[in-house]
Amino acid sequence: MSANLTPEYRNAEEKYRQAKTSEEKLEYLELMLTTIPKHKGTDKMQADIKRRIAKLKKGELKKGGKRQLSYHVEKQGAGQVILMGPPNAGKTRLVNTVTNAQFNVGDYPFTTRIMQPAMMPFEDIQIQLVDTPAIHPDYYERWVLGLIRNADVAILVADLSNPDILDNLDNLISILEDGRITLTREFLKEKPVPGFSKKKTLLAANKMDIEIAGEHLEILKEFFGEKFKIFPISCETGEGISEFKRAIFDNLDVIRVYTKTPGRKPDVKHPFILKAGKTVEDLAYHIHKDLARNMRFARIWGKGYYDGQPVDQHHPLQDEAVIEIHE
């Protein structure tokens, strides 16, 4: 069967052949995988691309006898949230504040040179935040684009103390769009165009403790208020941090579901994390496929229900629901 390769794929393949660094190769391999036609004629090609991607991500390619850095962060917790911003926007300080990490914070540009994952506690769950090197027209790490594509939600950090705040954000957004990444206010349900990525993004207006911050915040709202949800915060005073953490959870589009065994108290310490809109049957399969196959009905506790209300396997779940499955 003919492969019928698209112009987008051939362009990505050519850029892969010309790539000099591992991060560039990884970027174009992932682009090749998203643009290659999906049919039996390309099965072997897809498998080969996936093999090369896995090899790069695991750091198995060697240079000068030393293992190279892997530009991949394995997802953990309820979701992966990536922070990005121009130099000195305060990304690392923000990650330290909400996760209790102790990453190095400097008063000079490009202090962060590698990705730095940390876990943010939110109520009874953990959410993974990933700090990244700054993005600036004069210099940025191309592998950061791959991290952004892979994340569940992005945080765009703006520096309210910087008079060039609008230009800095415009430059960053332009760099991402050149890399085929569009930042959006909401999750988009339409099928993505091959080779392009649309990422739900929140805008953290950082350094509200600075005297000029209020004036710059109003300017930020005027130019970006319709494009992003804006959250004014200060790592120095703690202003807006609680609301910001709640917004991160709300925008991951996930729910926490607790289970109980008949005749026992519910397990409220270890919730199952599911995508919003999932059903009782989805929860059962998440626990074990045999449980889903043998389930007769379930009982539910939560807002809008009387305790132990019977529901069938197609019933949609809500955040913090308690489910008792009967076989």
Which tens digits make up the pLDDT trace of 233-280? 999 999 999 999 999 999 999 999 999 888 888 888 889 999 999 999
Burial of 45 (0-12, 13-18, 19+ CB in 10 A): middle
Which tens digits make up the pLDDT trace of 268-289? 888 999 999 999 999 999 888 8
CA angle in degrees (0–180, nearest 5) for 170-175-181: 105
Examine the pLDDT at 189 and tell me if it is beyond 90: no
Examine the pLDDT at 158 and tell me if it is beyond 60: yes
Rounded Cα–Cα distance for residues 267 and 296 (Å): 21
pLDDT at residue 69, as a whole number? 47
Examine the pLDDT at 145 and tell me if it is beyond 50: yes
91 Cβ contact list (under 8 Å, min separation 6): 83, 84, 85, 112, 131, 132, 134, 157
Rounded Cα–Cα distance for residues 91 and 238 (Å): 15
Examine the pLDDT at 68 and tell me if it is beyond 70: no
Measured from the Cβ of residue 305, the count of other Cβ atoms closer than 10 Å reads: 15
Averaged over 48-77, what is the pLDDT? 69
Strands 197-206 and 229-232, bridge-based pairing: parallel
Confidence band for 206, pLDDT divided at 50, 70 and 90: very high
Averaged over 175-198, what is the pLDDT? 80
Confidence band for 190, pLDDT divided at 50, 70 and 90: low
pLDDT at residue 4, as a whole number? 74
**Domains, the chain, with CATH or none:** 7-67 (no CATH), 80-252 (3.40.50.300), 255-326 (3.10.20.30)
Backbone angles phi, psi at 128, to 5 degrees: -85, 125
Whole-number average pLDDT of the chain: 86
Which residues are 81's β-sheet partners?
129, 153
Rounded Cα–Cα distance for residues 9 and 282 (Å): 35
Which tens digits make up the pLDDT trace of 296-324? 999 999 888 888 899 999 999 999 999 99
pLDDT at residue 3, as a whole number? 65
Rounded Cα–Cα distance for residues 95 and 120 (Å): 8
Which residues are 129's β-sheet partners?
81, 118
Examine the pLDDT at 98 and tell me if it is beyond 90: yes
pLDDT at residue 237, as a whole number? 94
Buried b (16+ CB within 10 A) or exposed e, 166-197: bebbebbbebbeebbbbbeeeeeeeeeebbbb
174 Cβ contact list (under 8 Å, min separation 6): none
Examine the pLDDT at 116 and tell me if it is beyond 90: no
Measured from the Cβ of residue 236, the count of other Cβ atoms closer than 10 Å reads: 14
39 Cβ contact list (under 8 Å, min separation 6): 1
Examine the pLDDT at 182 and tell me if it is beyond 80: yes
